C-alpha cells in the first residue's frame, strides 16, 4: 500500500514542477488522526485540549487544528511563538512549556507591553526563578499568572519536594498584586519510555498521577486562598494521551506530535494514529554502485546495491522509499548530497523523489520554510515558524 502511495506522490510532485526537498503533510492521515482525538476527547469531558506549538510549528496547521479540536489553548516553548499565537488567536490561552530565562520575560514586556493582560501562564521551576519574575512584575506594575512545574517522575527539574512547593506558594501568596497561581504542569513522557521490565506503563502512570494529586491536595489544605476553580492542571504530552483520556487528575492536556505521528511516537498506546509527515528529496545522481574514496580495490567486488545521491540529507528521519533504501556506513552522512543505497533492481531515476519519515516533528518543521499539504493529488503550501 505504501509503495503505491509513494509512487503516486512522486508523480504528483513532478507534475507540479517541484524539484527541491519538501516536507509533506498527508491530509487524509491528518484527518484520521484529528477524528481519533475528537472521539477520545468527547469521552473525556474533564479535559481541555492544549496544542503544542513547537511540534506543529505552522500557523496554517495550528489554525486548522484549533478549529477542528475546538481549542485556543496552546503550549509554547519559544518566545517569538508567543507573539505569533497572540496575534492570530483572539482567545489564546498560552502556557509556557519550559521555564523562560528571566531576561526573556523582561524583553517580552519591554517590547510587547500591549500584551501585558494577555492570558499567559509563565512556568516556574524554582523559588529563585519566581523571585526573578516577581522583580519583573514589580518593574512593569503587572500581575503574572504563575504555573508551577512539578516533577511527576520524569526527573527533568521542577519541584521535587513539599518544602520547595510550599516556599513557592508562600511567595505567591505574599505578593497577590504581582503574582497569581494559575496552576501546575507535570510532564509525564517517562511513563511510556521506561522499560516495562523496570516499571509497567500503567503503574508508572498511576505513580505520576498520585504525585500530581498530592501537590493538588497540598494547595487546597495549606493555601486555600490560592485555590480556585480556574486552576490549570496540565499534564500529558502525546505519549500519555490515551492514559489521560481514560482517567486523569488533570483538567488540561497537551499534545502535538501525535497528530503527525513521526516515528518516535510508534508505540502501542498510539496505534490508532497514522503517520502523516514525510520528507521528499529529489535524486540528483544514480551510480551503479558505491565507490569508496581511496578504496578502488573494492570496486571489483560484487555489488548488491546501486548508489543514489540526493538533494539534501542527514535529517532526523529514516528512509522509507524506495524499499530497503539506507545510508552507507562507511561513506558517511551528508546534509548537502547524501548517498543512499538501494537494491540493484530499483528503478528510481534522476529527478525522482526518495521519501523519509521524520523521527520528530519539532526538529524537522523549522528546517523547512513551508509545509506542503498533500490532498487529492494536489499541494497547498503552508508557511512554517522557520528558525
**b or e along 251-271 (b: 16 or more beta carbons within 10 Å of the residue's beta carbon)?**
bbbbbbbbbbbbbbbeeebbe
Domain CATH code at residue 336:
2.40.37
Query: Where in the sequence is the domain holding 303, given as residue range(s)?
Result: 1-21+276-383
> Is position 266 within any domain?
no
- Are 213 and 285 members of one domain? no
Q: Domain ends where: 232, 261, 290?
A: 261
Listed residue (72, 69, 9, 78) closest to 384, CA to CA: 78
Q: What is the pLDDT of residue 297?
A: 56
> Is position 133 within any domain?
yes
Give phi and psi for 178, each to the nearest 5. Answer: -120, -25
- Are 137 and 161 members of one domain? yes
- Are 245 and 300 members of one domain? no
> Is position 225 within any domain?
yes
Q: Domain ends where: 206, 235, 261?
A: 261
Q: What is the pLDDT of residue 300?
A: 56
Q: What is the pLDDT of residue 52?
A: 98
- Are 109 and 78 members of one domain? yes
> Is position 289 within any domain?
yes
- Are 119 and 181 members of one domain? yes
C-alpha separations of 31 from 54, 88, 269, 310, 386 in Å = 20, 23, 19, 30, 24
Q: What is the pLDDT of residue 198?
A: 81
Q: Domain ends where: 208, 234, 261?
A: 261
- Are 7 and 68 members of one domain? no
DSSP-assigned states of every residue in 77-128? -SHHHHHHHHHH-TT-EEEESSPPPHHHHHHHHHH-GGGTTSEEEEEE-SHH
Low-confidence ranges of the chain (pLDDT < 70): 1, 293-303, 387
| Alpha carbon distance 305, 290 (integer Å) | 8
Domain count, the chain: 2
> Is position 270 within any domain?
no
- Kindly report the number of other CB atoms within 10 A of residue 314's CB atom: 12
> Is position 232 within any domain?
yes
- Are 150 and 41 members of one domain? yes
Domain CATH code at residue 95:
3.20.20.10
> Is position 226 within any domain?
yes
Q: Which residue do the cell numbers 489564546 mark?
A: 92
- Are 181 and 51 members of one domain? yes
> Is position 271 within any domain?
no
- Are 64 and 163 members of one domain? yes
pTM (predicted TM-score): 0.95
- Are 40 and 108 members of one domain? yes
Name the burial class of residue 276, with classes exposed (0-12), middle (13-18) and buried (19+) by CB atoms within 10 angstroms of its CB: buried
- Are 6 and 73 members of one domain? no
- Are 232 and 376 members of one domain? no
Q: What is the pLDDT of residue 291?
A: 77
Amino acid at each position: 500500500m505504501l509503495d503505491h502511495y509513494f509512487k503516486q506522490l512522486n508523480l504528483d510532485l513532478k507534475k507540479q514542477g517541484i524539484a527541491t526537498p519538501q516536507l509533506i503533510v498527508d491530509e487524509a492521515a491528518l484527518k484520521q488522526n484529528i477524528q481519533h482525538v475528537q472521539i477520545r476527547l468527547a469521552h473525556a469531558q474533564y479535559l481541555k485540549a492544549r496544542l503544542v506549538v513547537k511540534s506543529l510549528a505552522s500557523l496554517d496547521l495550528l489554525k486548522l487544528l484549533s478549529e477542528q479540536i475546538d481549542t485556543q489553548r496552546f503550549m509554547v516553548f519559544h518566545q517569538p511563538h508567543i507573539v505569533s499565537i497572540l496575534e492570530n488567536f483572539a482567545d489564546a490561552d498560552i502556557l509556557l512549556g519550559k521555564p523562560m530565562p528571566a531576561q526573556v520575560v523582561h524583553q517580552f514586556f519591554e517590547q510587547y507591553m500591549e500584551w501585558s493582560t494577555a492570558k499567559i501562564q509563565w512556568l516556574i521551576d524554582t523559588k529563585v526563578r519566581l523571585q526573578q519574575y516577581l522583580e519583573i512584575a514589580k518593574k512593569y506594575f503587572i500581575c503574572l499568572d504563575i504555573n508551577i512545574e512539578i516533577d511527576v517522575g520524569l526527573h527533568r527539574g521542577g519541584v521535587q519536594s513539599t518544602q520547595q512547593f510550599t516556599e513557592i506558594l508562600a511567595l505567591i501568596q505574599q505578593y497577590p498584586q504581582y503574582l497569581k497561581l494559575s496552576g501546575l504542569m507535570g510532564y509525564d513522557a517517562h511513563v511510556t519510555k521506561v522499560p516495562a521490565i523496570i516499571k509497567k506503563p500503567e503503574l508508572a502512570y498511576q505513580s505520576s498521577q498520585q504525585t500530581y494529586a498530592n501537590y493538588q491536595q497540598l494547595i487546597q489544605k495549606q493555601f486555600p486562598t490560592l485555590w480556585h476553580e480556574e486552576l490549570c492542571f496540565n499534564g500529558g504530552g502525546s505519549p500519555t494521551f490515551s492514559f489521560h483520556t481514560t482517567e486523569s487528575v488533570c483538567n488540561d492536556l497537551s499534545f502535538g506530535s501525535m497528530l503527525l505521528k513521526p516515528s518516535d511516537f510508534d508505540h502501542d498506546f498510539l496505534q490508532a494514529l497514522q503517520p502523516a509527515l514525510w520528507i521528499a528529496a529529489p535524486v540528483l545522481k544514480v551510480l551503479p554502485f558505491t565507490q569508496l574514496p581511496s578504496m578502488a580495490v573494492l570496486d571489483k567486488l560484487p555489488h548488491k546495491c546501486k548508489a543514489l545521491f540526493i538533494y539534501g540529507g542527514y535529517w532526523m528521519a529514516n528512509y522509507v522509499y524506495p524499499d530497503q533504501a539506507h545510508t552507507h556506513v562507511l561513506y558517511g552522512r551528508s546534509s548537502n548530497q547524501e548517498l543512499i543505497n538501494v537494491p540493484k533492481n530499483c528503478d528510481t531515476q534522476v529527478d525522482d523523489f526518495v521519501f523519509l519519515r521524520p523521527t520528530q516533528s519539532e526538529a524537522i518543521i523549522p528546517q523547512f520554510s513551508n509545509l506542503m499539504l498533500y490532498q487529492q493529488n494536489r499541494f497547498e503550501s503552508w508557511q512554517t515558524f522557520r528558525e
